[in-house]
Amino acid sequence: MLKNHSQTNILENKSQSKALWDYVKHICKQPQTQTKINKSLNESEQLVNDEIITVEGFNHYFSKIGKQLAKRIENYEKSTNNTPVLYPTDPAEVEKTIDVIKDGKAAGYDGIKSEVL
């Protein structure tokens, strides 16, 4: 009976990722948690509890990570064929984009949850 209920619930929510993950967490009895970063380490590995400095640290890290990772990839070729184009942006566009990200979603490839942004 429980197996049928679970299968039904999963099938009903297969196109609604948040509802599906909420159900999976419910089955696994994992509590809902919210992540709040009160302190972080800067590049010198010093503990920082200033929100602005933490945000600037995140910005600095993520503005450099692409080039650093690209250097590690073997046989990396700088090619313009089929390469995505990144157009210039401004802080207002970044803020607008972050504002539409929904809380409670799974972390991306970078491991950062939307609540942190």
pLDDT for position 97: 85
Q: Does residue 44 fall inside a structural domain?
A: no
What long-range pairs does 60-65 form, CB within 8 A, spacing at least 24? Answer: 62/110, 65/110
The tens digit of pLDDT for each residue in 28-85 reads 776 666 667 777 777 778 888 888 888 888 888 888 888 877 777 765 555 556 667 7
Q: Does residue 15 fall inside a structural domain?
A: yes
Q: Does residue 18 fall inside a structural domain?
A: yes
Q: For 102-112, what is the mean pLDDT? A: 78
Query: Domain total for the chain?
Result: 1
Q: Does residue 26 fall inside a structural domain?
A: yes
What is the maximal distance between C-alpha atoms in the chain? 56
Look at 6-15, 28-37, 85-94, 104-113 and tell me which has the smallest mean pLDDT: 28-37
Domain that holds residue 15: 1-32
